[in-house]
């Protein structure tokens, strides 16, 4: 069975796309990032939650504040990337649910009045949105280098001192350099993953 998505788009988003480790000097504009967000914001989440928050690290001062908390191997990549986005979960996402989920505005209080429930739901749905964001970066013809090698407590203190946000990933974004990609790593086969009951 063929997929509805054009084979070239399949390659762009999945088969040929890989995590980028090096980028050209071409800048990533705010307009590009807005186009990415305006595409991926429509992807599904539970109760239409929107817990993902994106901090674009553009200034040299902010970049240095972030780089110091990255693991040693990630520091040069983060320092050199045209754009770095810090993706985080907003644990107060439920405050927007009456507007975002009008069929059941009471969901805010019925399901998410307690912080542990918000943290669990918010972290899962923000992670979904982070995945959509990375696919959106690829859809824009750019490459993403998502990383979780950092001191999370330090990044949270540096960029989210309110305590209501938790970092999910740091994503380097830009046009891939010639040596940006390592060889494709293996993936599990269909029969190793999918069962029918």
Cα–Cα distance, 125 to 194 (Å, whole number):
23
Sign (positive/negative) of CA torsion 149, 128, 63, 119?
Answer: negative
Which position has the token pair 């595409």?
39
Contact present, 127 and 168 (Cβ < 8 Å): yes
Per-residue pLDDT tens over the stretch 33-79: 999 999 999 999 999 999 999 999 999 999 999 999 999 999 999 99
Sheet-wide strand order for 52-57:
52-57, 83-90, 165-174, 143-147
Cα–Cα distance, 103 to 107 (Å, whole number):
9
Q: What fold, for 30-176?
A: NADH Oxidase (3.40.109)
Per-residue pLDDT tens over the stretch 5-16: 999 999 999 999
How many other CB atoms are found less than 10 A from the CB of residue 167?
Answer: 23
Cα–Cα distance, 26 to 154 (Å, whole number):
30
Per-residue pLDDT tens over the stretch 95-122: 999 999 999 999 999 999 999 999 999 9
């Amino acid at each position: 069975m063929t997929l509805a998505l054009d084979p070239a788009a399949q390659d762009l988003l999945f088969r040929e796309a890989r995590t980028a480790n090096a980028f050209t000097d071409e800048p990533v504009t705010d307009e590009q990032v807005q186009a990415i967000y305006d595409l991926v914001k429509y992807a599904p989440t539970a109760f239409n939650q929107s817990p993902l928050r994106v901090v674009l690290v553009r200034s040299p001062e902010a970049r240095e504040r972030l780089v110091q908390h990255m693991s040693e191997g990630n520091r040069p990549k983060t320092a050199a990337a045209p754009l770095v986005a810090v993706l985080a979960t907003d644990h107060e996402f439920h405050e927007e649910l009456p507007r975002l989920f009008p069929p059941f505005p009471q969901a805010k209080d019925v399901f998410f009045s307690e912080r542990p429930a918000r943290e669990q739901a918010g972290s899962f749905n923000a992670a979904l949105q982070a995945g959509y964001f990375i696919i959106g970066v690829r859809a824009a013809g750019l490459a993403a280098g998502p990383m979780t090698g950092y001191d999370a407590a330090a990044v949270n203190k540096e960029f989210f001192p309110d305590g209501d946000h938790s970092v999910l990933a740091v994503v380097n974004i830009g046009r891939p350099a010639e040596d940006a990609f390592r060889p494709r790593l293996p993936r599990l086969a269909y029969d190793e993953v999918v069962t029918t009951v």
